[in-house]
Chains A and B, each alone.
Chain A
Amino acid sequence: MSNPQAVIWADKLSKHFGEFVAVNQISFSVQKGEIFGFLGANGAGKTTAMRMLCGLLLPTSGSAAIAGYDVYTQTEQIKQNIGYMSQRFSLYEDLTVAENIRFFGGIYGLPDKQLKLKTDELLHTLQLHTEAKTLVSALPLGWKQKLAFSVAILHEPAIVFLDEPTGGVDPITRRQFWDLIYAAAQQGITLFVTTHYMDEAEYCNRICMLVDGEIKALDTPANLKKQHQAQTMDDVFYHLARTAKRTAD
């Protein structure tokens, strides 16, 4: 049963595009401070589901609440209470580090005083104070991704959605990125993460696996491996994703 008190709560949430059922009656809930992994093959419906949860796409049927706000009627409140970061879009390359922080802080309505404090704190944590006036385009990818994540949680949202945040990042930076994710979870922020790296699936408290728009598995990584008699999450993923009927099309 879904718990309406949860930070993310969805009940039979669906999205149809004409005849095509992209997301089919998904129900789940995510607790405060949980790291929730959202996995699925290309075309399984992950992006469509995420867009509905972020208040960017109206569902066809079912219900869902994000930080207590309804996905049909309170999409603006949802956007103010979540953070979002993806591999593709994160920061403005032709603005400096400090300008990006100021821009996103401003968008989320942080008062100037708080913004200044937050900026110093963030530059210190990321050891970027010497780079405040550097254009983001000149930063290595790993630093960009860490900065983008920190900017996405600048306004202390209840939830942050991370869409393949570590794609293409080197193995050391990828791990440092997860240190940031853990730290955010400890502050009580809920993390909703998609990834193609199956070792990262292990770092999630629970994993939800989408196949053909439906939830085919939802449990802790340890339980999923037990259920599928698999050694690794990679095996679990392969096992479940292979049952897909529809092509990635």
Chain B
Amino acid sequence: MADVILQNIGKTYNKGAVKAVTDASFTVEQGELFGLIGPDGAGKTSIFRILTTLLLPDAGQAWVLGNDVVKNYKAIRQQVGYMPGRFSLYQDLTVEENLRFFATVFNTTIQQNYHLISDIYVQIEPFKHRRAGNLSGGMKQKLALCCALIHKPKVLFLDEPTTGVDTVSRKEFWLMLNNLQQQGITILVSTPYMDEATLCRRIALIQEGKILSVETPQQITAAFPFALYAIKAAQMNLLLSHLRQSPLIHTCHTFGEYHHITFAQNTPHSQSHLLGYLAALSHTQVELKPIVPTIEDCFINLMN
């Protein structure tokens, strides 16, 4: 049996006026690093709160480690770790006091499970007598992860652990997650950063409370239904408006250095037709090449 199972879960707020989650189903296997990928307001946090037994679903059923999230919530709470999106440790306790508090609440000690957190904890240990409220964002994140791990949970729920964190710290954080996964912990993590999707074994793309797709990142990008091209030229902004006006083009989105385009009709002549059209509009330094879609390309396509 999978560690986490969602079956047609629904959740509304304000007497049904706000549909936070609609008919969401997916499973997370034992030992899997599973990503829930979507923008703010997509319903990620509602799903986390339902699975951690902090919120009752309006529809559907869900199980964590074989326990129903409504009927057996106490059994679930003993066995999972949860790092909420908002920093929720005690600001006026020190680093060490917070960690000891969470260990004690779960009837264990820091020493007993220290091996699980040692890699992460050594980075904040120099500040162990500092109050949690006075830590920087990156340090708070590491402490929160330690506190979520100290009772040796079987499943770890991490709600947007990397939001607002810079690229370097984000990369470090994902290395930590990989280490934890290798120790057999099942991890469900959410993120609004599409580039982090490829670091998960499987992902669910979520938008406006609906699951758009559940696959491995490779399967999702392989299922992109069009031939995708990257294009750039000297005048990127002008290029964008010309591409959007052209009947040759189906979609056009900015992607950093390049724009990503799909053709209205992809024929062997599409590329040369487009280059001719752009040359007639006096574009210079035009570069056009076929590319493999990213998760963000797929997400935009599924949103439409």
The chain A residues found within 8 Å of chain B, CB to CB, are 40-43, 140-142, 164, 167-173, 175, 178, 182, 196, 198-203, 221, 232-234, 237-238, 241-242, 244, 247-249
- Name 15 A/B residue pairs within 8 A (Cβ), A-sorted: A41-B166, A42-B165, A141-B39, A142-B39, A167-B192, A169-B40, A171-B299, A196-B165, A196-B167, A200-B256, A237-B168, A238-B171, A241-B168, A248-B139, A249-B136
The size class of the interface chain B forms with chain A is 20 to 34
The chain B residues found within 8 Å of chain A, CB to CB, are 38-42, 127, 135-139, 163-169, 171, 192, 194-195, 207, 237, 253-257, 296, 299-300, 303
B39 to A168, Cβ gap below 8 A?
Answer: yes
Q: Which of A169, A200, A221 contacts B39 (CB 8 A)?
A: A169
Q: Which of A172, A234, A248 contacts B138 (CB 8 A)?
A: A248
B41 to A141, Cβ gap below 8 A?
Answer: yes
Among B165, B167, B237, B254, find the residue whose CB has the most chain A CB atoms closer than 10 A. B167
**Closest B residue by C-beta to A145:** B40
CA distance A83 to B38 in the complex (A): 30
CA distance A244 to B167 in the complex (A): 13
B41 to A140, Cβ gap below 8 A?
Answer: yes
A-B pairs with lowest CB-CB distance, top 3: A199-B256, A170-B39, A168-B40
Residues in A whose Cβ lies below 8 Å from that of B139: 247-249
Residues in A whose Cβ lies below 8 Å from that of B38: 170
B300 to A202, Cβ gap below 8 A?
Answer: no
CA distance A84 to B53 in the complex (A): 40
**Closest A residue by C-beta to B138:** A248
CA distance A12 to B163 in the complex (A): 32
CA distance A221 to B195 in the complex (A): 20
A202 to B167, Cβ gap below 8 A?
Answer: no
**Closest B residue by C-beta to A196:** B166
B137 to A168, Cβ gap below 8 A?
Answer: no
B257 to A198, Cβ gap below 8 A?
Answer: no
Q: Which of A141, A178, A238, A241 contacts B254 (CB 8 A)?
A: A178
Residues in A whose Cβ lies below 8 Å from that of B168: 41, 237-238, 241-242, 244
B254 to A203, Cβ gap below 8 A?
Answer: yes
B300 to A171, Cβ gap below 8 A?
Answer: yes
B170: shortest Cβ distance to chain A, in Å? 8
Q: A182-B237, A202-B256, A221-B257 are in contact. Are A238 and B136 (CB under 8 A)?
A: no
**Closest B residue by C-beta to A201:** B256
**Closest A residue by C-beta to B171:** A238
**Closest A residue by C-beta to B39:** A170
Please name 4 further chain A to chain B contacts, defined as beta carbons within 8 Å, in addition to the given A172-B300, A232-B257, A248-B138, sorted by A numbering: A171-B299, A199-B255, A248-B137, A249-B127
B174: shortest Cβ distance to chain A, in Å? 13
Among A170, A178, A196, A232, find the residue whose CB has the most chain B CB atoms closer than 10 A. A170
B167 to A198, Cβ gap below 8 A?
Answer: yes
Q: A171-B299, A199-B256, A241-B167 are in contact. Are A249 and B207 (CB under 8 A)?
A: no
**Closest A residue by C-beta to B140:** A248
Residues in A whose Cβ lies below 8 Å from that of B303: 170-172
Residues in B whose Cβ lies below 8 Å from that of A182: 237
Among B195, B237, B253, B257, find the residue whose CB has the most chain A CB atoms closer than 10 A. B257
A196 to B164, Cβ gap below 8 A?
Answer: yes
Q: A178-B254, A249-B136 are in contact. Are A234 and B39 (CB under 8 A)?
A: no
Residues in A whose Cβ lies below 8 Å from that of B138: 42-43, 247-248
**Closest B residue by C-beta to A182:** B237
Residues in B whose Cβ lies below 8 Å from that of A198: 167, 256
